[in-house]
Amino acid sequence: MKAVVSMEYDIIEKVNEVAAAGGSLEDRLERAARLFAEEFHFDQCLFFLAGSGGALKLAAASSGLCTTGVLCYGKGEGLPAVAMEKGGLVEAQKEPGRAEWEGVPDPGLEGVSTALVYPLGGGGSFSGVVYLKARERTSLSPARKDLLKVASLQAALMIRNAVLLEDHRRAHAELLAMQEKLASSEKLLALGDMAATMAHEIRNPLLSLGGYAARLKRQLPSGSPGLVYIEKMSQEIGRIEKIMNGIIRFLNDNLAELKTDDLNCIVDEALDIFADEFSAHGIAVERRSVHAPLTVLADREQMKIAFDNIIANAIQSMEKGGALKVVTSRSGDFAVAEVSDTGGGIDPEHIGYIFNPFFTTKKHGTGLGLPIANSIITRHRGGIEVRNEGRGASFTIRLPYSGAASVSSDLLPAEAGRVV
């Protein structure tokens, strides 16, 4: 009796040692598998762990038998399912000439005569099973079976700890990532303030420069070589002015006045502005409206700027003619406007960047058109998406439909536009 007790403690101590050791869960399970096979005199021990959808996946196996064949049991399959159903030990002996064990087929038992399966865990929730296989017929004494239960419980605790630790690590990493993001958004805010001040400070002297350059140009006699330089200066100043205007617009988050409006009217007004350009470039405009009115809460001036930028891009992509299609409709809780052109679309290599400030493929572009459109739309709690479709690009703008429910009038901070 004394000897048996000390042997029991021997196994438990060894399993404890494995559980307390460092390393990955897989490593420790593999050591535990070797230990189980050795201590209980089976040819092989395997650990299967529960994954998604109730399937059991092989996590570790001691060498001894070929493990190929069963790497995974689906929900309700094989002896593991029987053990988990029962919530206790399943001991099965192969009946000569039969393919079934305990009434279920189990392809993992090829060449095996005795199998023991014990569920890991307790209280109806199991994290997996421990699976012992022997070529020869063998059986465990009741005392050894009890010992197997205790050792399995230890293994189950080890697994649970590892899972908890993993969860903890993931949560910690997420927290750190979030903290980093917060810090960088604070930096961005400070940067935004700085940029706004700079844009204002640069603007006034720039206007003087541009104005005097224009005066000088008028005063130089025609044919004077200086005219070319002055012309160049004016152009460059004009370009900086355009960028400054863009930045100031981009940074002006708090100027929105939300009023009940009709998306159809906003879109129509935006299209009106470009009437001359459409005919100058031979662009046919197709305007369709499915639902009227499309009630939205909007700052009309801002929303028009958003559409101006999108339509301007479409025109610039069709300078030698094409077709612009603008469709407004309602889709669930959203009023939707779709602006599609036939200007060849956006290079797939660029499409991920077009909402980034200063991204441009145009010689005289500022790259602020779409970022401005995006920031205005997201501050209206809407979204903008882009995709290449047909012979051009298609922009979809969604704004919360406010015909039925009332919407909070708080504006949201801007987010990045989406590519689909």
Partner 1 sequence: MKKRILVVDDEEGLRLLYKEELEDEGWEVDLAASGEESLEKLEKDSIDLVLLDIKMPGMDGVEVLRRVKEKWKDLPVILCTAYPHYKHDFGTWASDAYITKSSDLTELKQTIKEILGKKQ
369 touching ligand ATP, by CB under 6 A: yes
- Site for partner 1 (CB under 8 A): which residue of 210, 357, 365, 403? 210
**Nearest residue (CB) to ligand ATP, 16 versus 360:** 360
359 interacts with, out of Mg ion, partner 1, ligand ATP, none, CB within 5 to 8 A per kind: ligand ATP
Look up residue 17 and give its two tokens: 């040692």
Quick one: what does residue 354 bind among Mg ion, ligand ATP, partner 1, none, with the CB cut-off 5 to 8 Å set by partner type?
A: ligand ATP
Q: How far is the CB of 207 from partner 1 (least distance, A)?
A: 5
Q: How far is the CB of 373 from Mg ion (least distance, A)?
A: 9
Taking CB under 8 A as the binding criterion, the range among 59-67, 71-79, 211-219, 281-289 that sits at the site for partner 1 is 211-219
> What is the contact mask toward partner 1 in residues 159 to 198, using x (rule: CB under 8 A)?
----------------------------------------
* Radius of gyration for the chain, computed over Cα atoms and rounded to the nearest angstrom: 36
Which region, judged by CB under 8 A, interacts with partner 1, from 212-220, 340-348, 392-400, 404-412? 212-220
Beta bridge partners of 56: 50, 73
Please tell me whether residue 255 binds partner 1 under the rule CB under 8 A: yes
Residue (64 or 322) nearer to ligand ATP, CB: 322
206 binds, among ligand ATP, partner 1, Mg ion, none (CB under 5 to 8 A by kind): partner 1
Binding of residue 313 to Mg ion (CB under 5 A): yes
Q: Is 366 in the site for ligand ATP (CB under 6 A)?
A: yes
Binding of ligand ATP by 317 (CB under 6 A) = yes
SS3 letters for the chain?
A: CHHHHHHHHHHHHHHHHHHHCCCCHHHHHHHHHHHHHHHCCCCEEEEEEECHHHCEEEEEECCCCCCCCCCEECCCCHHHHHHHHHCCCEEEECCCCCCEECCEECHHHCCCCEEEEEEEEECCEEEEEEEEEECCCCCCCHHHHHHHHHHHHHHHHHHHHHHHHHHHHHHHHHHHHHHHHHHHHHHHHHHHHHHHHHHHHHHHHHHHHHHHHHHHHHHCCCCCCHHHHHHHHHHHHHHHHHHHHHHHHHHCCCCCCCEEEEHHHHHHHHHHHCHHHHHHCCEEEEEEECCCCCEEEECHHHHHHHHHHHHHHHHHHCCCCEEEEEEEEEECCEEEEEEECCCCCCCCCCCCCCCCCCCCCCCCCCCCHHHHHHHHHHHCCCEEEEEEECCEEEEEEEEEECCCCCCCCCCCCCCCCEEC
- Check residue 83 for interaction with ligand ATP (CB under 6 A): no
Rounded Cα gap, residues 38 and 137, in angstroms: 16
The binder of partner 1 chosen from 168, 170, 200, 350 (CB under 8 A): 200
Please tell me whether residue 371 binds Mg ion under the rule CB under 5 A. Answer: no
Q: Does 374 bind Mg ion (CB under 5 A)?
A: no
The yes or no reply on residue 341 touching ligand ATP (CB under 6 A) is yes
CB of 193 to Mg ion, least distance (A): 26
Nearer to Mg ion by Cβ, of 88 and 352: the residue is 352
- Of residues 230-249, those binding partner 1 (CB under 8 A): 237-238, 241, 245, 248-249
Kindly state whether residue 361 participates in binding ligand ATP, applying the rule CB under 6 A. Answer: yes
Closest separation between CB of residue 297 and partner 1, Å? Answer: 18
Is residue 80 involved in binding Mg ion (CB under 5 A)?
no
385: its two tokens: 């998406």
Q: How many CB atoms lie under 10 A from the CB of residue 271? A: 18
Binding site for partner 1 (CB under 8 A): 200, 203-215, 237-238, 241, 245, 248-249, 252, 255, 301-302, 304-305
Binding site for Mg ion (CB under 5 A): 313, 369
